[in-house]
Chains A and B, each alone.
Chain A
């Protein structure tokens, strides 16, 4: 009975892993495909990596997307923490309902509407105050901040409302200033939520096509825009190659982070 249970648990686990990772693995395998066809195997080759390194358009788009994603993730964690803190700690205040609605609106708003309305706003601003003179990285980052902040706020707010307020109160009792309490007590406690929010905002930004298409300007094509645009003349395995490189970098980063966290945990226990 017990053996049967462990076997069924194991197969469910294996199925779950396969569901998550087989698509990524097949993408990596096909990046070494000789053929231009993304779905037919025709022998091993690394030529797509070579061509990718020659392809300025894809590389500069990937670099732009990464820059925007990092800026957006950092910005939306700051804004999202502020909003989450206000919603979780400040009780009822005038305009709270309006604030909640505005913060969560981007969660349910179709992307097309966000994109178009931001585009119209930028054009109107340009007509009235002359800024932004040229749409591009700045406007894409601002647009991404508007919807990423909403997601990050939800994550951080829920963490804050689960947090034990008495430790903050204890610190205040012992004479710490509110700002100090926030940085020394609150931030470390909600750190996992901050990291999760950062990663979520990073992914949302890297993934976004619709909004970026609307608010981008000359000289600013993000990676999803280039990938979708290449549908017209065929998606090339260069995209697989690029995705493989990104997956490798992310994996290495996660491994390093895991290793450091593991070591800190150990030191903490030993101390």
Chain B
């Protein structure tokens, strides 16, 4: 019995081995990205234009992607990590292949401002190209917030939640924060008028104090639950990613439940985040990977993706091709004066990160 099992097992293994090289003859590119993070026809058009088959796999967190890249031989050709802190430290540890820019003529379409911002984590933009980008701001249920704070309330400012008397009034309808110490501390430092890239522990203490003052009024800390809660009217103020809050807005509108959601980039500014396209160092099909990145940098292709996922792309030439509804939404494509106030998460040293994590844990547990 045991030998029979072994034999069957060995046969199965041999089969799977024998099949693999036969498939390699066709040109293929393996993409590793979030689910539904492309337009419905992107892969089809790519195959039609280049003759390369695109296989789209999905992950559910940047951490899983990182674990696979660190283990090596992941087998993926193009991956889409968030620039900070993931792509930054992955580039630093040499996980990515340098781009062959002669194969990427469409690089000329990219937004020079964003490319420059990314050069801070990827010198000379040698490894990666920005994909979609967004901001981390505040989503509000307009009617409930106005009812709680009064018509004349200054809802464009972070004081709306960081002033304890305001937070107290909003507590009844619910406040949520991202459970992410980098994002929350950056926002609190900005509210206090301090340097986001601070190296001083006293600044961190001050930010933690600002949170402690409003801690009793915060309903929960979570990375995605606020999408549904905001759309259903279960919370009225959510610190979250632009794309998520706009999604909540769309859902509330679809459900016709009378919940009126607005995404706000506070006048103090907001964190700008970017997802990037990168080629792992041991990618099996680098030529096809370049072809895919170049294809995505075509204005008409990336504009369709933006229309489908409602995120802004980093392609200047695509601006006129994006649906006006998205292009003119200040939550997705902020006007220039707001753009100037956006900032990227800083590059902190380990000691400060540890200190911040401990401070954040104390805030969350209310100690």
Contact = CB atoms under 8 A, between A and B. Distances in A.
12 contacts: A37-B231, A39-B228, A82-B1, A82-B2, A123-B73, A133-B17, A214-B64, A214-B68, A229-B59, A231-B60, A231-B224, A234-B247
Given A120-B71, A226-B35, 7 more contacts: A42-B256, A119-B71, A127-B73, A218-B57, A218-B74, A219-B30, A233-B247
Contacts of B68: 119, 214
A119 B76 contact: no
Contact of A78 (B5, B34, B55): B5
Given A213-B59, A219-B55, A39 B232 contact: yes
Interface in A12-52: 35-40, 42
B30 A40 contact: no
Contact of A134 (B5, B12, B20, B247): B20
Contacts of B85: none
B283 to A, nearest CB: 10
Interface in A220-251: 220-221, 225-226, 228-234
A38 to B, nearest CB: 7
A139 to B, nearest CB: 10
A36 B36 CA distance: 15
B5 A233 contact: no
Interface residues on chain A, size class: 35 or more
A205 to B, nearest CB: 16
Nearest to A215: B68
Contacts, number: 109
Contacts of A229: 34-35, 58-60
Contact of B228 (A38, A218, A219, A232): A38
Q: Which of B2, B32, B64 has the most CB of A within 10 A?
A: B64
Contacts of A217: 74-75
A220 B57 contact: yes
Interface string B134-164: 0000000000000000000000000000000
B42 to A, nearest CB: 12
A144 interface: no
Contact of B13 (A57, A131, A209, A233): A131
B254 A123 contact: no
B30 A233 contact: no
A138 interface: yes
A40 B20 CA distance: 46
A100 interface: no
Contact of A216 (B36, B57, B71, B227): B57
B51 interface: no
Interface string B213-236: 000000000001001100110000
B30 A35 contact: no
Interface string A146-164: 0000000000000000000
